[in-house]
Homo-oligomer: A and B are copies of this chain.
Amino acid sequence: MMPMSTSRPYHHGDLRSALLTAAERTLRDKGAAALSLRELARDIGVSHAAPGRHFKDKQALLDALALDGYDRLMQTLATADDPTLPLQPRLTGLTRAYLRFATDNAALLELMYSLKHDPDASEQMAAAAERTVQSLAAIVAEAQQRGEIIEGDPAMLTLTVGAALHGIATFAANGHADAQAAVDGVDTLVHLLLHGLLPR
């Protein structure tokens, strides 16, 4: 039990992170469009102008949320990756992790991939996305070196795998595919990616 100070000082202590926490909650519960700085301020118990000290405008708060999302996604993927595995189970594991993140954070993912960001934040997000792509590219390159997969432009192989993973994750996140069906289908999807659709 933390003692609550009965005299409420006019400042908050760590308003910035309190705003981000509260914002992510409403993002999750009601979506980005329903997010109001004034409402956040009310919930936290601070004046409506206070958020302006920490985020130059509403978009800056959304950008910060999205950037945090990229960090968490990358950490999720890094944790899920097992470099000792052969390619197929390794990709399956990564895909499952991405799928789980997507369904658990659907609104956040939508925000992360949305078009409207400050140029500065856009740059940071492009860099974060690029880092994720690079780790996938590294996996592809490794597999090529081991002779597990075909030669050819590694960027194209990475793009293909990345597109398939991204596609199924967004299908699952927005309900275009049933989430459980998508999870169950990961094995088959990765198998098809590796083996192709043509008869042998």
Binding site for B on A (CB under 8 A): 31, 33, 106-107, 110, 113-116, 126, 129, 133, 147-150, 152-153, 156-157, 159-168, 170-171, 173-177, 182, 185, 188-189, 192-200
Asked if residues A159 and B168 are in contact (CB atoms below 8 Å), the reply is yes
| Copies of this chain per assembly | 2
A102 to chain B, nearest CB (A): 12
Task: Please give, as numbers and ranges, the residues of chain B lying within 8 Å of A197 by CB-CB distance.
Answer: 149-150, 157, 160-161, 193-194, 196
Per DSSP, are chain A's interface residues mostly helix, strand or loop, or mixed? helix
Asked if residues A194 and B198 are in contact (CB atoms below 8 Å), the reply is yes
- Assembly CA distance A66 to B185 (angstroms): 28
Selected from B114, B129, B165, B171, the residue in CB contact (under 8 A) with A176 is B129
A193 to chain B, nearest CB (A): 6
- Assembly CA distance A199 to B192 (angstroms): 14
Asked if residues A115 and B174 are in contact (CB atoms below 8 Å), the reply is yes
Task: Please give, as numbers and ranges, the residues of chain B lying within 8 Å of A153 by CB-CB distance.
Answer: 188
Task: Please give, as numbers and ranges, the residues of chain B lying within 8 Å of A174 by CB-CB distance.
Answer: 113-115
- Assembly CA distance A33 to B110 (angstroms): 14
**Nearest opposing residue in chain B for A30, CB measure:** B116
Asked if residues B150 and A198 are in contact (CB atoms below 8 Å), the reply is yes
Selected from B33, B147, B165, B198, the residue in CB contact (under 8 A) with A167 is B165
- Assembly CA distance A58 to B71 (angstroms): 33
